[in-house]
Homo-oligomer: A and B are copies of this chain.
Amino acid sequence: MLPRKELFHLPEGMIYLDGNSLGPLPKAVPERVARTVEGEWGAHLITGWNVDDWMGQPSSVGDRVGRLIGAPAGSVVLGDTLSIKVYQALSAALEMVPDRKVILSDTGNFPTDLYMAEGLIRQIGQGHELRLVAPEGVAGAIDEDVAAVLLTHVDYRTGRMHDMSALTQKAHDAGAVMIWDLAHSAGAVPVDLAGCSCAFAVGCTYKYLNAGPGAPAFIYVRPDLQEAVSPALSGWLGHDAPFAFEQSYRPGAGIERMRVGTPPVLQIAALDAALDAWEGVDMADVRAASVELSEVFIAEVSARCPQLTLASPTDPAQRGSQVSFHFEQGYAAMQALIARGVIGDFRAPDIMRFGLTPLFIDEEDVLRAVDILEEVLSNRLWDSPEYLTKSRVT
């Protein structure tokens, strides 16, 4: 069942352990994008909005993403970037608890979530505070001052995974609104949005979902809240009747109101094709394979690369689908590794990060990656001006 390497274009000789940053190209994508460009846009021009259902795809393809994160049909819509979707979710959350002024997040959150929160606070000018605590301190910091808890489920640097269910419960017990950022979760670990009952979730599709650079983000709103949400960024495609061209905004039905402008049709086509690789895949199987690969990787690196210190939790239940290590010369070592065909990435100050993505990575890949890592480290192959000075890979 897994891996499904035959569904991906994986360059010869490369071991790609960076699917947590940008997934590789699914083989179904080029033909599908070409068809959208030539067979739809080229042949149908303006009528593509109807005959090819470009207008409906943010919802219909959104539902396909929804299946992978435990969201019922009609609760996920695609569009914009993750930053914009964070802004929409947070703005809606704050409106739900107007008497509270604290947005709680953690210091490990991805910066754009914090920046968007800062910007929103500045914009609404009601004296909100962005309160950051250490990831392990979040549970203890949820109190009755907290309006919204904004957390990324899996830490982008360390892979540390929050307990989604317990923290959501804790937030609800305190009367706070829970928002989950699933950037490193969708397609990586099982997520049960309906079960955890959080109000909002957001995420991106270019990492584990392999939809390509600049792929659209998504937003989930719990079904019973949808009609009560006042969308910030009230664009025409979130209007109840966009083509009536009314002068005043009226929010659309349900999740549709979270749309803003014209959908990115080519990027959605790529996503739709990329999702084919997930057909028939059970996230529980992905998780089991991911844990197995991660445990092998950690055990081998620990045994053979004493220069590295594990930066991820040792308990797989507290770890997403990536493994990170501290190494003072991590930047140069990652460059040396990349030069030898093992692609991971580096995050300041000293983190070497590896994504374990069972759709296209198997144990043989992991063992070979450790061989090369060991060679780089034990022979100090990173200690070369070429690697020490090269400009940073994003």
Task: Verify B42–A9 contact, CB threshold 8 A.
Answer: yes
Q: Which of B83, B114, B345, B391 contacts A46 (CB 8 A)?
A: B345
Q: How far is the CA of A212 from the CA of B268 in the complex (A)?
A: 13
Q: Which of B18, B47, B206, B230 contacts A393 (CB 8 A)?
A: B47
| Minimum CB distance partner of A40 in chain B | B213
Task: Verify B111–A214 contact, CB threshold 8 A.
Answer: no
A139-154 interface (Cβ within 8 A of B): none
| Minimum CB distance partner of A248 in chain B | B118
Quote the shortest CB–CB distance from A120 to chain B (angstroms): 8
| Minimum CB distance partner of A394 in chain B | B49
Q: How far is the CA of A87 from the CA of B214 in the complex (A)?
A: 21
Task: Verify B266–A33 contact, CB threshold 8 A.
Answer: yes
Task: Verify A266–B213 contact, CB threshold 8 A.
Answer: yes
Task: Verify B118–A214 contact, CB threshold 8 A.
Answer: no
Chain B residues within 8 Å of A22, by CB: 41, 45-46, 48-49
Tell me how many chains of this kind the complex includes.
Answer: 2
Chain B residues within 8 Å of A46, by CB: 18, 21-22, 343, 345, 393-394
Greatest chain B CB density within 10 A among A16, A22, A55, A267 is at A22
Task: Verify B49–A348 contact, CB threshold 8 A.
Answer: no
Task: Verify B45–A235 contact, CB threshold 8 A.
Answer: no
Q: Is the C-beta of A262 less than 8 angstroms from some C-beta in chain B?
A: yes
Chain B residues within 8 Å of A242, by CB: 111
A116-133 interface (Cβ within 8 A of B): 116, 118-119, 122-126, 132
Mark each residue of chain A from 341 to 356: 1 if its CB lies under 8 Å from any CB of chain B, else 0.
0010101100000000
Task: Verify B213–A11 contact, CB threshold 8 A.
Answer: no
Q: Is the C-beta of A177 less than 8 angstroms from some C-beta in chain B?
A: no
Q: Which of B204, B249, B393 contacts A115 (CB 8 A)?
A: B249
Task: Verify B54–A213 contact, CB threshold 8 A.
Answer: yes
Between A and B, 30 residue pairs with Cβ closer than 8 Å are A9-B42, A11-B43, A18-B45, A22-B41, A24-B42, A24-B45, A25-B37, A25-B45, A29-B37, A33-B33, A41-B212, A46-B394, A83-B260, A84-B233, A84-B235, A84-B261, A91-B123, A112-B235, A115-B236, A115-B239, A119-B249, A123-B124, A212-B266, A214-B262, A216-B264, A217-B261, A243-B348, A264-B264, A264-B267, A266-B267
Closest 3 CB pairs of A and B: A81-B261, A83-B235, A112-B236
